[in-house]
Amino acid sequence: MVHNVFIIMPAYNAGRTIEAVFERIPQQARERISRYVVVDDGSTDDTQSALSRLATRVPNLVSLRHEGNRGYGAAEKTLLDHAMAQGAEVAILLHADGQYSPEKIPQMLQPFDLDQADLVQGSRMLQSGALQGGMPLYKFVANKALTALANLAFGMRMAEYYGGYMAYSRVALQAIPYHKLADSFHFDLQMLVMARVKGLRIQQVPIPTIYAGEVSHLSPIKYGLNVLSVIWNYRSGKYHAF
């Protein structure tokens, strides 16, 4: 069983949702979490007030802050740097908007406990119900199409590449030069690609699809173009050169 588990959380204008995310973390998971680390990535709402309230209830919470918005990938890099410096064995990326289920943290840890994975992704596409869970049809179709293309390009058999519920072992973070990757939303996809390049063990676990009116900071068209860019760069050998 792995120890020194960190929950890492990028937060951008998450004042309305972040406290509820913490409340949903099951006791079974709380007993194993050494530290919660949140980086406020230049929020302009009351995220800082919410973090101050959380600090009174969560003694092992560390709050970091970017004075300006640097981007999702840049926030992850700050979080991963902190986790590595503090000796985390596993770092689980949990989003502050509640779209990825905190209730699934024990399932995200299981492949590490069994020494079957170096990187774990929670996938909404492993079980039926993505559409029933509220995923817009255009996102479902785009996810399926881009996943088929990526599987062909990467020589993998993933259910999806585009979910942001990620967990990294210390071994994975030592092997992947993540500072060379993007500061944008396709950082997680690049981490999966780099895990492939480095020969790391990747597993996916099913998670529920939750769409409940969260505010998205992601342009689907721009993200799709970025996915195609990652595929092109992989085929051209860019990631192998890192």
The model's pLDDT over 166-190, given as tens digits with 9 standing for 90+, comes to 999 999 999 999 999 999 989 999 9
The percentage of residues in the chain with a pLDDT greater than 70, rounded to a whole number, is 93
The reported pLDDT for the residue numbered 50 is 98
pTM for this predicted structure: 0.93
Question: Greater confidence, 122 or 125?
Answer: 122
Residue 135 has pLDDT above 70, yes or no: yes
> For the segment 209-221, what is each residue's pLDDT rounded down to a tens digit?
776 554 455 566 7
DSSP letter for 116, please. -
- Cα–chain center distance at 199: 20
Domain spans in the chain, listed from the N-terminal domain onward: 5-241
Token digits of residue 164: 């942001």
Q: How far is CA 188 from CA 15, 27, 46, in A?
A: 23, 27, 27
> For the segment 53-97, what is each residue's pLDDT rounded down to a tens digit?
999 999 999 999 999 999 999 999 999 999 999 999 999 999 999
DSSP letter for 118, please. S
Residue 130 has pLDDT above 90, yes or no: no
In contact, 36 and 61? CB cutoff 8 Å:
yes
* CA–CA distance, 58 with 47 (Å, rounded to integer): 16
The reported pLDDT for the residue numbered 138 is 79
Regarding the domain with residue range 5-241, which homologous superfamily does it belong to in the CATH classification?
A: Spore Coat Polysaccharide Biosynthesis Protein SpsA; Chain A (3.90.550.10)
The identity of residue 89, as a single letter, is: E
Q: Can you list the alpha helix ranges (DSSP code H) found in 72-169?
A: 72-85, 105-113, 137-154
